[in-house]
Structure 1
Amino acid sequence: MSLLPLLLYTSITALVIYLLLNLRTPNRKPLPPGPTPWPIVGNLPHLGPIPHHSLAALATKYGPLMHLRLGFVDVVVAASASVAAQFLKTHDANFASRPPNSGAKHIAYDYHDLVFAPYGPRWRMLRKICSVHLFSAKALDDFRQLLNVCTTNALARVMLGRRVFGDGDPKADEFKDMVVELMVLAGEFNIGDFIPAVDWLDLQGVTKKMKKLHARFDSFLNTILEEHKSGNSTGDLLSTLISLKDDADGDGGKLSDVEIKALLLNLFAAGTDTSSSTVEWAIAELIRHPQLLKEAQEEIDTIVGRDRLVTELDLTQLTFIQAIVKETFRLHPSTPLSLPRIASEDCEVDGYYIPKGSTLLVNVWAIARDPKMWTDPLEFRPTRFLLGGEKPNVDVRGNDFEVIPFGAGRRICVGITLGLRMVQLLVATLVQSFDWELAKEIEPDKLNMDEAYGLTLQRAEPLMVHPKLRLSPHVYKSH
């Protein structure tokens, strides 16, 4: 080979090597630590049957910020309050959208709902509608009577096995089953979401189940829409929402029927399953701790008395009930793994590189049980939130990252105020109205407190109890 071609070959080779070396991100930080992924499926096998438990265990080995590879998707997991705050506060805008997922596509009207809508003008419109017309302080005050009706219906379910308001629809249990199924399916780690090439195969049968469930919900919601459009219902949350159909609101234009149904789906799912499961956990914990139940009843008897039922207006004075609810949210958060978010751009968190397109999961369950943040974290101890306790000023509204059952940042649950009122009022009403005994002569300290995994935190075994009236009969009859 002559000198000229050799020099040309050497120069081109050197240029290629230089470009390859310098086109890489200069001085890029390392990815967060994490378990070694398997070929193709990545770390999906590491999730186990209850992912928030498995991820909490992995965090003890790899630290509070982990990187996983689920199929072909980068996933980062936050498992401490400080790391969660960096994602949901410092980098909140970068993680304001949701990653693609089969649940949003096949159940939630192809991302037309509030929960899974991409961050942008339409999401802001939906958020504004909910914030102003459904969940503002004024709106909740307007709906106060309806909230009291709801708790009375819950009492009737306990006492009579049926509702006393409405038409006593026999399909109520069927609807509850639909909501539970939705939460289970939405919580599935669908392989097709992480390995797109096999999505069409529907290896787990998840997509088929989602489409079938969507058809059932759509039929149910169409019926509700038609009833409200005909003017058969007024003065409730749904009527307010439907009345906005023709009103332009914000940058996103007018609400469509599909967006209304998608929002109704959000409201039904979030408003029934999360509240009922949290109340069930609270009553279970009080049965396991009879002294706490007695103290809660004494507080209500002192402030409310025994000649009327507790109302929403009493809640601000029931500090022990509030503490019980906070402690229930801490130990049994309704959404143990936050709904996923996606990184719009590369960023750096805690000294680690987070690549664009990474999915973020916040292990709310693990954060609230962090022994570095909580004394005896596995103990149900409501007094920790009272004056003299370890966390008297910590709240659950998204500002204190030690306990964020409703999330935080831009994507915090829009119905947080209503959710808190509902759970507090339901717990207070059930505590005031009944003494509780376990079925089958189970000892309180032997009560099964295992969890079943879904998008929301359900009990592995439903709570079976015998309620005994503790107020005068006329109190129940008057409601």
Structure 2
Amino acid sequence: METSFYYYILLFIIYLFFKNYLQKHNKKFPPSPSLSFPIIGHLYLIKKPLHKTLAKLANKYGPILFVKFGSRPVVIVSSPSAAEECFTKNDITFANRPGLLAGKHLGYNYTTLVWASYGSHWRNLRRIASLELLSSHRLQMFHGIRADEVGSLILRLLQGSIDGEFHIVDMKSTFFELTLNVLMRMIAGRRYYGENKTGLEEAKRFREIVTETFVLSGATNIGDFMPALKYVGANGLENKLLILQKKRDRFMQDLIEEHRKGQSGTVSKQRSKTMVEVLLSLQETEPEYYTDDIIRGLMQVMLSAGTDTSAGSMEWGLSLLLNNPEALAKAQTEIDDQIGQSRLIEEADLANLPYLHGIINETLRMYPADPLLVPHESSQECTIEGYHVPRGTMLLVNIWAIQNDPKLWEQPEQFKPERFLKNEANGFQMLPFGTGRRGCPGEGLATRIIGLALGSLIQCFEWERSSDEVVDMSEGAGLTMPKAQALLAKCRPRPIMLPLLSQL
């Protein structure tokens, strides 16, 4: 009797084993490169830049690809239909973030808007960003700041031209200074660049912080993919992240304390003025939730994400125009026809400038600031176009591959703003700001800054390359796909605009 009992237990165990085995192997996983090494998985295939390497793998194995980055399962999506399924049907499933080292140290242990996983805390941060900080109403309240800073940029470029002749301008720095002034005035009511030189050291300090943030965020940490090696510390990345976060914390806390000191007792009355005041007023009502950590995290996300990405897009855009002067001439003609020479372009004019809009869209298509969307992670198993995706799988959506796919775009390597006049983009073929729950809440602000700045520079100045050579369009290292070589350009005021510019 006892023998029969153990016999049935053994049969039951064998049944469970084969059931689980068959269930696992009957599931249709996405295609995968056949050779996966122990420990490292498919990491041997990865070369920089990552988005181009993954695009080549997608061309070989298909637009939905399953790989192992060490011990971490990863699904790479490179088609509009698969991306649409990820961010519609499976949007909540993929609303989590993987636990990467950068998120631990730069994201306050995965509690900031960028790094927090889906849940009540993230939803609250998103609500604050979308409604309190970046709503259309609040952006409209700040439109004067954007117009003022673009006007200051025009004046500086005008003053740099002696007797109306060409002079060379470092556009990488120029665009960064513009976006930092705009963001800092919106967030903390102060500016760093311009006539006031007192803040230049602090501005330099912040610029170094932003540059280091995107370089280290895009750096490979072997411990994220091979946990057994996370304590080896071969490249000292964790120490660099710790040092960087201390710098970021100090910078943001100084801004908070300076604001507290200057605005003590009046925060709630002035809540409409700056974003720091909005956040400090929330802290007054719920101090146990809106801690300084939460406020610093929101400020860091706003400043880091808002400055480097918008500045980089403008630099790529002007680079493309310098290499395609016929497009620059068309944009100037459009602005002249729609606005004339008696006033400067305004944000309200952007809706009536379809060719300028096409230039911006074409720039974002060819050189998206986030070529691989910030990684998502599946909170439960799901399917993408019939393929099984296990729980805990990292999702990489290759925006660059989709937006430069010759099957979707005619001659994608060529700069053709006209394609957007014909509505060539269709749904998920263009995702420069992401989409779904974790889409970029700053899209409205970015498009306003980029449109007004590029439109103003096109309207007011003549632009030429700094040499006879075409502008180098090589990509540099970093999370936001910066240009490898900073853009130097020659500019001078357009003679037709001098009567207006002389009044500034």
TM-score normalised to structure 2 length: 0.86
* Among candidates 16, 20, 42, match of residue 19 of structure 1: 16
Change (3 A) 1:25 1:211: farther
Offset at 1:156?
5.3
Post-superposition CA distance 1:369-424 (Å, at most 9, x none):
112211111111111111xx251x75xxxxx2101011010000011111111111
Verify the 8 A CA contact 1:247 1:254 in the aligned structure 2. Answer: no
Aligned to 2:278: 240
For 1:241, the aligned partner's letter is: L
Change (3 A) 1:4 1:340: closer
For 2:225, the aligned partner's letter is: F
* Among candidates 232, 237, 247, match of residue 201 of structure 1: 232
Aligned to 2:489: 465
Aligned to 2:376: 341
Post-superposition CA distance 1:181-224 (Å, at most 9, x none):
21111112211111122212222221111111111111111111
Change (3 A) 1:304 1:19: same
Of stretches 311-320 and 287-296 in structure 1, the one that deviates more from structure 2 is 311-320
Aligned to 1:119: 118
Aligned to 1:357: 392
Offset at 1:173?
3.4
Change (3 A) 1:125 1:13: closer
Aligned to 1:433: 460
Change (3 A) 1:156 1:356: farther
Verify the 8 A CA contact 1:341 1:359 in the aligned structure 2. Answer: yes
Aligned to 1:410: 437
* Among candidates 371, 374, 395, match of residue 406 of structure 2: 371
Offset at 1:39?
2.2
Aligned to 2:194: 164
Q: Distance in 1 between matches of 2:253 and 2:2?
A: 78
For 2:351, the aligned partner's letter is: T
SS in 2 for 1:308: coil
Q: Distance in 2 between matches of 1:469 and 1:422?
A: 21
Q: Distance in 2 between matches of 1:206 and 1:469?
A: 46
* Among candidates 290, 297, 302, match of residue 332 of structure 2: 297
Q: Distance in 2 between matches of 1:122 and 1:421?
A: 29
For 2:132, the aligned partner's letter is: H
Q: Distance in 1 between matches of 2:213 and 2:502?
A: 36
* Among candidates 429, 439, 442, match of residue 468 of structure 2: 442
Aligned to 1:44: 43
Aligned to 2:297: 262
Q: Distance in 1 between matches of 2:195 and 2:22?
A: 63
Change (3 A) 1:37 1:413: same
Of stretches 10-19 and 114-123 in structure 1, the one that deviates more from structure 2 is 10-19
Identify unmatched segments of 5+ residues in structure 1.
395-399
Change (3 A) 1:227 1:474: farther
Q: Distance in 1 between matches of 2:339 and 2:282?
A: 38
Q: Distance in 1 between matches of 2:300 and 2:294?
A: 10
Verify the 8 A CA contact 2:99 2:110 in the aligned structure 1. Answer: no
Aligned to 1:34: 32
For 2:204, the aligned partner's letter is: D
Change (3 A) 1:274 1:153: farther
Change (3 A) 1:101 1:158: farther
Aligned to 1:175: 206
Verify the 8 A CA contact 1:192 1:199 in the aligned structure 2. Answer: yes
Residue 151 in 1 paired to residue 146 in 2?
no
For 1:122, the aligned partner's letter is: H
For 2:279, the aligned partner's letter is: L
Q: Distance in 1 between matches of 2:86 and 2:68?
A: 19
Offset at 1:158?
4.6
Aligned to 1:397: none
Change (3 A) 1:4 1:222: closer
Q: Distance in 2 between matches of 1:52 and 1:157?
A: 37
Of stretches 459-468 and 335-344 in structure 1, the one that deviates more from structure 2 is 459-468
Q: Distance in 2 between matches of 1:279 and 1:323?
A: 14
For 2:108, the aligned partner's letter is: Y
Change (3 A) 1:41 1:477: farther
Offset at 1:177?
2.7
Offset at 1:180?
1.7
Offset at 1:8?
7.7
Verify the 8 A CA contact 2:28 2:387 in the aligned structure 1. Answer: yes
Q: Distance in 2 between matches of 1:456 and 1:185?
A: 11
Change (3 A) 1:20 1:39: same
Offset at 1:332?
0.6
Q: Distance in 1 between matches of 2:204 and 2:460?
A: 24
SS in 2 for 1:406: coil
Change (3 A) 1:48 1:302: same
Q: Distance in 1 between matches of 2:255 and 2:491?
A: 34
* Among candidates 177, 181, 187, match of residue 218 of structure 2: 187
Aligned pair count reads 462
For 1:333, the aligned partner's letter is: P
Offset at 1:237?
3.2
* Among candidates 280, 283, 298, match of residue 315 of structure 2: 280
Change (3 A) 1:9 1:111: closer
Aligned to 2:167: none
Offset at 1:51?
0.3
Verify the 8 A CA contact 1:338 1:363 in the aligned structure 2. Answer: yes
Post-superposition CA distance 1:316-369 (Å, at most 9, x none):
111111111111111110100000011000111122110000000000000001
Aligned residue runs from structure 1 range 84-163, under 5 A: 84-155=83-154, 158=157, 163=193
TM-score normalised to structure 1 length: 0.90
Q: Distance in 1 between matches of 2:117 and 2:369?
A: 23
Q: Distance in 2 between matches of 1:63 and 1:154?
A: 46
Verify the 8 A CA contact 1:310 1:432 in the aligned structure 2. Answer: yes
For 2:468, the aligned partner's letter is: I
For 2:97, the aligned partner's letter is: R
Identify unmatched segments of 5+ residues in structure 2.
161-173, 178-192
Offset at 1:14?
4.0
Q: Distance in 1 between matches of 2:329 and 2:137?
A: 34
Q: Distance in 1 between matches of 2:341 and 2:278?
A: 35
Aligned to 2:446: 419
Q: Distance in 2 between matches of 1:405 and 1:18?
A: 49
Offset at 1:151?
2.1
SS in 2 for 1:90: coil
